[in-house]
């Protein structure tokens, strides 16, 4: 399978599958980090994992390895 075919498979299969799962089972950062921790860093109490800008700010603020 060529790289182009693999990319087409990702676009045609994987991305729609992830979108479907996300719509049926939304995931929020407050599942991983409790509200007092988020409040300590002055972050919203609910952060949708699909919100990449806010998710990035979470990791920039609390740090990670």
pLDDT tens profile 8-64: 999 999 999 999 998 999 889 888 888 898 898 888 888 898 888 988 888 888 876
Please give the radius of gyration of the chain, using alpha carbons only, rounded to the nearest integer.
16
Phi-psi region of 63 (alpha: psi -120 to 50; beta: other; left: phi over 0): left
Q: How many alpha carbons fall within 13 Å on the CB side of residue 15? A: 7
| CB 24, CB 16: distance < 8 Å | no
pLDDT score at 64: 63
pLDDT score at 44: 87
Instruction: Tell which wins on pLDDT, 63 or 65.
Output: 63
pLDDT score at 14: 94
Which sequence spans correspond to the domains of the chain?
A: 3-62
Instruction: Let me know if 13 is exposed, middle or buried by CB neighbors in 10 A (0-12, 13-18, 19+).
Output: exposed
């Amino acid at each position: 399978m060529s790289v182009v075919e693999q990319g087409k498979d990702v676009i045609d299969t994987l991305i729609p599958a992830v979108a479907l799962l996300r719509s049926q089972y939304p995931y929020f950062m407050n599942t991983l980090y409790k509200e007092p921790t988020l409040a300590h860093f002055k972050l919203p109490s609910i952060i949708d994992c699909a919100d990449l800008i806010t998710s990035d700010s979470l990791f920039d603020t609390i740090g990670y390895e």
